[in-house]
Amino acid sequence: MAEMQIVAKALNDFGDDWHWVILHDAEPRGDRRFHASHVDTICGILLDEGGVVVTLHDTGAPDQPNCPRCLSGRMDPALRLALEEVLERAEAVPVTVRPR
Ligand SMILES: [Zn+2]
């Protein structure tokens, strides 16, 4: 399904950085409105899940975010997925502490 990537602020806080915000499984729902299965940012902020309708406002967003983690985290989606899988597996491995 379609994935929409927009530059937006995660919070209604003008001090916040601009992030790459991803609308997952985005479907148009009229003028500037999209339904998404969940909404998060590249740097890992989960904004909404379980199906939401997002209205896009013209907030004068720049072409690029200024969130350093969004910029550095912008990689090939396949690579990001592979990396997440590795990280998940690493978390699932029990840690054994042996006395010296
Ligand atoms: Zn970010």
Does residue 25 contact residue 37 with C-beta atoms inside 8 Å? Answer: yes
User: If phi over 0 gives left and psi between -120 and 50 gives alpha, with beta otherwise, what is residue 88?
Assistant: alpha
**Count of beta carbons in the 10 Å neighbourhood of residue 36:** 25
Gap from CA of 20 to ligand 1 centroid (Å): 6
Q: Taking ligand 1, which is a single-atom ion, which protein residues have CB atoms under 5 Å away?
A: 19, 41, 43, 67, 70
In tens, the pLDDT along 15-66 reads: 778 999 999 999 999 888 999 999 999 888 888 899 999 888 777 888 889 9
Q: Which domain holds residue 51?
A: 3-92
Gap from CA of 33 to ligand 1 centroid (Å): 22
Does residue 62 lie in a domain region? yes
Does residue 13 lie in a domain region? yes
Does residue 67 lie in a domain region? yes
pTM of the model: 0.65
CA geometry: angle 25, 85, 94, nearest 5 deg: 140
Does residue 97 lie in a domain region? no
Counted domains in the chain: 1
Gap from CA of 98 to ligand 1 centroid (Å): 39
Does residue 59 lie in a domain region? yes
Gap from CA of 49 to ligand 1 centroid (Å): 17
CA geometry: angle 41, 42, 47, nearest 5 deg: 15
Does residue 43 lie in a domain region? yes
